[in-house]
Structure 1
Amino acid sequence: MQIQGGVSLVEPTEALRAPYLAFYEEWKASGEPFVPWVTEMDPADFAGMVRSLREYASGVDIPDGWVSSSTFWLVTADKRVVGAVNIRHRLTDRLLHSGGHIGYGIVPSARRQGYASELLKQALHKAGELGIEQALVVCDAANTASERTIRRNGGIEDKETIEADGNVIRRFWIRTPSNIK
């Protein structure tokens, strides 16, 4: 399927409170794990959540052992939030093996419509703007839809990692757009 109308990645903002809450509530009701991790943040104090996300991007009040990261929401032309992405500015040893630079997710009702590929494409541009020349993007081995999305965006497979619980992580490197400095 093709995406109807334009979509864009936008920084979290209080102006998108209602569409984001609809996104959050749908994901929560699905019972699926929130992906990326930032989408599991409790939005009860919405202004505080948005402020925290901006601080993480600036490197302020980051939990110990974490890295600066930028979060963006994928917003449709009619102002629905259908996805989210979190871009880590650098990799720790743990992120190198099982987290990667870019984590993204699409709300269940918007899947299989091309949003994931478009989200990752735009996220790679944002990563390039952050100075990341090659982005590591990972997925669980069982997540074939995510693997297709990553490959569609130029992912070159690297060595798999097996987590302590036995989960197999597939790792892919993607060169960010070269016209960005």
Structure 2
Amino acid sequence: MNNLKLVKPQIDLKDEYLSFYQEWKESGEDLVPWVISKDPSDFQKMLKFLSDNEMGVGIPEDWVPDSTFWLVNDRNKVIGAVNIRHRLSEYLFNAGGHIGYGIRPSERRKSFATILLKLSLIEAKKLGIKDVLVVCDAGNVGSEKTILNNGGRSDTDYIEDDGNVIKRYWIKNN
């Protein structure tokens, strides 16, 4: 487990990422974090999109810059992905948080999410984010445990227009 690391999306991990992406698509589940929903068929274009987002280039007016990393093991298998928002918009403050993450379906329930969030907090700290907001749907017990395992402190829930309850947690990151 100690051989896991976060890496920036890169061309030499194309085959591993496509395997990760395809497995998730075949599961029929929502793609989380949102950046993995980007079609990777033009891989270079996807990498440029992620790089541009990090630099704040070409993002919509109501968006914020964000950094994407992949969680890989010592064989460069892509286990998960994380998207770190550099600051909070009103939407992110309510329902998105600073950090969105996901673990490929076949690798869940192995503590990878807890490690992914722990490593993500280090990256958030490098961005100067000292109080990190992480959210999950009320029914997502695994994500809630992951957040709590990383020091999450409960804040007021947010109820979306469709009635979905978003549990909000703050993690001190200093």
What does residue 70 of structure 2 align with? 73
CA RMSD in angstroms, aligned pairs only: 0.7
Cα distance in 2 for partners of 1:8, 1:114 equals 14
Q: Amino acid of the residue matched to residue 167 of structure 2? A: R
Cα distance in 2 for partners of 1:15, 1:66 equals 29
TM-score (norm 2): 0.98
Equivalences for 1:1-150 in 2 at 5 Å? 3=1, 6-150=3-147
Cα distance in 1 for partners of 2:118, 2:26 equals 28
TM-score (norm 1): 0.95
Name structure 2 gaps, 5 residues minimum.
none
1:63 offset after TM fit, Å? Answer: 2.1
Cα distance in 1 for partners of 2:123, 2:82 equals 10
Cα distance in 1 for partners of 2:121, 2:19 equals 26
* Aligned structure 1 segments of 4 or more residues deviating by more than 3 angstroms: none
Cα distance in 1 for partners of 2:30, 2:87 equals 24
Cα distance in 2 for partners of 1:153, 1:32 equals 25
1:11 offset after TM fit, Å? Answer: 0.4
Count of residues paired in the alignment: 174
Cα distance in 1 for partners of 2:64, 2:33 equals 15
What does residue 158 of structure 2 align with? 161
Q: Identical aligned pairs, as a percentage?
A: 53
1:117 offset after TM fit, Å? Answer: 0.3
Name structure 1 gaps, 5 residues minimum.
none
Residues 96-134 of structure 1 deviation map (CA, whole Å, 9 limit, x = unaligned): 000000000000000011110000000000000001001
1:64 offset after TM fit, Å? Answer: 2.8
